[in-house]
Amino acid sequence: DTAVSQTPKYLVTQMGNDKSIKCEQNLGHDTMYWYKQDSKKFLKIMFSYNNKELIINETVPNRFSPKSPDKAHLNLHINSLELGDSAVYFCASSLRMNTEAFFGQGTRLTVV
């Protein structure tokens, strides 16, 4: 039973398209995150939600919009995809904001 699951694992799409990545956790955690990992493996936090409330909203283009319908789900919608959006996107969750995080397997987004 996967603790943090995100779909799809791979996403190849054309520039200008709109796409979504879904994330679900079954750990009963209060906090969920989206991270972006670049080709050098550097991790950058994008968003976090705590109990469905947006807590962290880092400097990302407003083409990226998170949505948390409930504590167990945090989806990421991306409008008007650009080549530079190509990366691996990770969803994660933690019991509280200041505890260790558990990661999904990642979504490799390729924009062509």
Q: Which residues bind another protein (CB under 8 A)?
A: 4, 33, 40-43, 45, 48, 55-56, 90, 92, 94, 97-106
The least distance separating another protein from the CB of residue 38, rounded to whole angstroms, comes to 11
The least distance separating another protein from the CB of residue 16, rounded to whole angstroms, comes to 28
Q: For residue 90, which of 30, 28, 42, 53 has the smallest C-alpha distance? A: 42
The least distance separating another protein from the CB of residue 26, rounded to whole angstroms, comes to 15
Residue 23 or 111 with smaller CB distance to another protein: 23
Residue 14 or 42 with smaller CB distance to another protein: 42
Residue 15 or 44 with smaller CB distance to another protein: 44
Contact 66, 33 (CB under 8 A): no
State which amino acid sits at residue 54.
L
Residue 64 or 90 with smaller CB distance to another protein: 90
Residues 6+ apart with CB under 8 A from 56: 33, 45, 47, 48
Residue tagged 């939600």 (tokens): 49
The least distance separating another protein from the CB of residue 71, rounded to whole angstroms, comes to 17
